[in-house]
A and B are shown apart, each in its own frame.
Chain A
Amino acid sequence: MADAVRPAPGSGVPLPAARADIPDTDLSWQRPSPRLLRARRIQTALATVPLALIAGLACTSVSATTGAAAAAAIVIAGLIAERFLARRIAAWGFAERHEDLMVRRGVLVRRLSVIPYGRMQFIDVTAGPIERSLGLATVRMHTAAAASDARIPGLEREVAARLRDQLAALGQAQAAGL
């Protein structure tokens, strides 16, 4: 938790220092675009502000101060969530190895998934309205197992398309039966 934060070269997102407890840190990890932070901030704001307004108006029927307090509490909660966004985004990363793809994520609960290319059944590229307006997309890998959740959010659209094509080609080349 107490990782020193240093700015990564060529990236607006601060990166945590190399973590000795995560295996294979010597890999060259690729990261989501720095614009993902902006997308997540917009999403947080879009969730917080209307909620604060509604709660504030609803509680004003009790009294004006409770309305203001409710709105303020929600706004503060949104601001606290914003503080964690950068670290959560910095924790995302993926590395293409010879035979498999590694995806890591999580700050509190750290996860690192290894998915052999041959096991990928299909690959989704999705982009919500905010991601789309910032030129970002999410790549999601599906295997036959329901539990293997490998997704990489906030990739530049070209990077996402390249990754999708590359994974599909590798998956086809190394496909294995069930």
Chain B
Amino acid sequence: MTNPPSAQPPLGACPGQADAARGGSDSAGSDSAGPYSAGWHRLHPLTPVVRAGTRLLSLIVVLAGIAILRQGQDKGQLFTDLFVIALALSGGFISWLVTRWQVADGVLRIETGLIRRDSRRFPLTQIQAIDVVQTGIARVLGLAELQLRVAGSDSSGGRLACLRLADAEALRRELLAGSASAARSAVIGPASVPPAAMPAEIGTAPVPERKLFRTQPGRLAVAIVLSRAGAIAAAVVAVVVVVLALTGSTAAIASFFPALLGMAAVVWRQFNSEYGTRIAAVPDGLQLRSGLIQTTAETIRPGRVQGVRLVEPMIWRLFGWCRLEVDVAGPKERRENRSEGRRLRAVIPVGTRSEAEQMLGELLGSRPDPASRPPRQVRFKAPLQYHNLGWGGDDHYVVAARGRVCRKTTWVPLEKVQSFRWVQGPVQRRLGLASVLLDVAGRRVRADVEDRSAREAGDLLTRLPALARSARARLG
């Protein structure tokens, strides 16, 4: 941004600097000054391979398939194939060549682009969270990607792909330490812990990490099968089996193939992203690691939590299972799979009620229960939902429970509430009811205090904004 393209140092000077910095990181280890503090750095040279990733793999598979079909009749065709692959890689290679990054003066800068130079600045104070993500190919090569989450509009998050895993972890710690020291941070716990004492797998510093939760893979598999995705998949499979039994021809199955493939992808994605979820308490919040092939590590800071949701599908309740999700400020866009970014982060993909209670205590401290029941006339308006409805509130949180088949309980910190809405539909007006909705940032989580008596709803709409104001004032 401050560097016009003409004022850049020659790009050829960069790799040497970067290598020197990497060497320094290995030897210095937990040097608190940070191995990345000076100069411009390159990404890892294998980055194009990882970035091309699955696309490259599928291209190779397709070309190999064509080659096999031709049975090597045309040798010249092989060179064309290789040329196509090289072309696919060269774009990534050029992108790698012109990308560089730097940490200086509390700002992370990423510059990229061959023809149109794109320079982005990320002030460390504005970084909400940093994830270390490893896709399957990156994991084989020992690389990792850093994803920055910044508060504000969509698509403002930056990513550094790819670095060596150890480098990525070190850089993440350094950036987080920088953001914690620069900002008046919302960190719970000893914020004055020096960066060297931050948790790490590498390094010899003591690890102040307390294990809180670990998913059981077997239970996760059963739970996904028993969830909505699993139920739809089972229905699709049942239809296929019935069609097969009735017609006896495999041709009829072909039309179901895309649906089957889609279902398998959905179920697999959920299993892959939530497999082996581990939660540990670290000085700056809760550390969350998960993933089977693509692994993610991120730290949830309690001060950044916009909402916590406890989901109890009907079938899971038979086993006493539930799911706990948190919404953290800042959008999360994954280029690899967007649909995952739209979901909330599952702190507990599936766990028992007591595990969820413990985690809720860790995330929220003392919290209200949705104990206040709706008035009796709600049974005429929402007969299925009636037994799940309820709300509760104290000085810090509002909790609302709802849901017909799947009971969803949402806790929202009052100081995070963006707006309050009072809504009354025609049926509610006939029955003397009204709802109060509490919106927090983003579009994913909301506490809906539904179907209260009109007087109570009106009272809530006057009291809650005042409570939220004093909650904000407490934070300063």
Interface residues, chain A, with chain B CB atoms under 8 Å away: 1, 21-24, 99-100, 108-116, 118-119, 143-148, 150, 176-178
The contact sample of 9 A-B pairs, CB cut-off 8 A, is A23-B459, A110-B424, A112-B461, A116-B468, A143-B419, A143-B441, A145-B419, A146-B442, A146-B443
Residues of chain B within 8 A (CB-CB) of A99 are: 465, 469
Is there an interface contact between A100 and B462, defined as CB atoms closer than 8 Å? no
A171 → chain B closest CB, angstroms: 12
Residues of chain B within 8 A (CB-CB) of A178 are: 151, 304, 306, 329, 416, 441
* A143 to B440 alpha-carbon distance, docked (Å): 9
Residues of chain A within 8 A (CB-CB) of B304 are: 178
For A113, give the chain B residue with the smallest CB separation: B421
Is there an interface contact between B420 and A21, defined as CB atoms closer than 8 Å? no
Indicate if B12 sits at the interface (CB-CB under 8 A).
no
Indicate if B117 sits at the interface (CB-CB under 8 A).
no
The total of interchain contacts (Cβ-Cβ below 8 angstroms) comes to: 99
Is there an interface contact between B437 and A145, defined as CB atoms closer than 8 Å? no
Is there an interface contact between B472 and A118, defined as CB atoms closer than 8 Å? yes
Among A1, A100, A178, max chain B CB count under 10 A is at A178
Known contacts A1-B426, A145-B439, A178-B416, A23 near B458 by CB under 8 Å: yes
Is there an interface contact between B465 and A100, defined as CB atoms closer than 8 Å? yes
Among B418, B424, B426, max chain A CB count under 10 A is at B418
Is there an interface contact between A108 and B425, defined as CB atoms closer than 8 Å? yes
* A148 to B432 alpha-carbon distance, docked (Å): 24
Is there an interface contact between B419 and A113, defined as CB atoms closer than 8 Å? yes
* A1 to B427 alpha-carbon distance, docked (Å): 11
Q: A110-B423, A143-B418, A176-B472 are in contact. List 19 more A-B contacts (CB 8 A).
A: A21-B458, A23-B462, A99-B465, A99-B469, A110-B424, A111-B424, A112-B421, A113-B419, A113-B420, A114-B419, A116-B465, A116-B468, A144-B440, A145-B446, A147-B439, A148-B419, A148-B421, A177-B475, A178-B151
Indicate if B89 sits at the interface (CB-CB under 8 A).
no
Is there an interface contact between B424 and A147, defined as CB atoms closer than 8 Å? no
Is there an interface contact between B461 and A144, defined as CB atoms closer than 8 Å? no
Is there an interface contact between B422 and A111, defined as CB atoms closer than 8 Å? yes
Known contacts A145-B440, A145-B441, A145-B442, A111 near B472 by CB under 8 Å: no
Contact with A along B461-473 (1 / 0, CB 8 A): 1100100110010
Residues of chain B within 8 A (CB-CB) of A118 are: 472
Indicate if B143 sits at the interface (CB-CB under 8 A).
no
Indicate if B346 sits at the interface (CB-CB under 8 A).
no
Residues of chain A within 8 A (CB-CB) of B442 are: 144-146
B429 → chain A closest CB, angstroms: 7
Indicate if B434 sits at the interface (CB-CB under 8 A).
yes
- Which residues of B in the span 290-305 have a Cβ within 8 Å of any Cβ on A? 304
Residues of chain A within 8 A (CB-CB) of B229 are: none
Is there an interface contact between B422 and A112, defined as CB atoms closer than 8 Å? yes
Among B415, B420, B421, B432, max chain A CB count under 10 A is at B421
Known contacts A114-B465, A145-B418, A148-B419, A109 near B439 by CB under 8 Å: no
B-side interface size class: 35 or more
* A113 to B437 alpha-carbon distance, docked (Å): 9
* A146 to B291 alpha-carbon distance, docked (Å): 30
Is there an interface contact between A116 and B461, defined as CB atoms closer than 8 Å? no
Indicate if B253 sits at the interface (CB-CB under 8 A).
no
* A177 to B184 alpha-carbon distance, docked (Å): 11
Among B151, B424, B443, B457, max chain A CB count under 10 A is at B424
Residues of chain A within 8 A (CB-CB) of B432 are: 21
Residues of chain A within 8 A (CB-CB) of B422 are: 22-23, 111-114
Partner among A21, A111, A116, A144 whose Cβ is within 8 Å of the Cβ of B421: A111
A28 → chain B closest CB, angstroms: 16
Is there an interface contact between B426 and A143, defined as CB atoms closer than 8 Å? no
B257 → chain A closest CB, angstroms: 36
Indicate if B60 sits at the interface (CB-CB under 8 A).
no
Partner among A21, A108, A110, A148 whose Cβ is within 8 Å of the Cβ of B418: A148
Indicate if B454 sits at the interface (CB-CB under 8 A).
yes
B455 → chain A closest CB, angstroms: 9
Among A1, A112, A146, max chain B CB count under 10 A is at A112
Residues of chain A within 8 A (CB-CB) of B329 are: 178
Among A100, A118, A147, max chain B CB count under 10 A is at A147
Residues of chain B within 8 A (CB-CB) of A112 are: 421-423, 461
Residues of chain B within 8 A (CB-CB) of A146 are: 439, 442-443
* A21 to B475 alpha-carbon distance, docked (Å): 34
Among B419, B426, B443, B465, max chain A CB count under 10 A is at B419
Residues of chain A within 8 A (CB-CB) of B306 are: 178
- Which residues of B in the span 398-451 have a Cβ within 8 Å of any Cβ on A? 415-416, 418-426, 429, 432, 434, 437, 439-443, 446
* A144 to B445 alpha-carbon distance, docked (Å): 12
For A98, give the chain B residue with the smallest CB separation: B469
- Which residues of B in the span 93-148 have a Cβ within 8 Å of any Cβ on A? none
Is there an interface contact between A21 and B472, defined as CB atoms closer than 8 Å? no
Residues of chain A within 8 A (CB-CB) of B441 are: 143-145, 178
For B468, give the chain A residue with the smallest CB separation: A116
A16 → chain B closest CB, angstroms: 13
Among B443, B446, B472, B475, max chain A CB count under 10 A is at B472
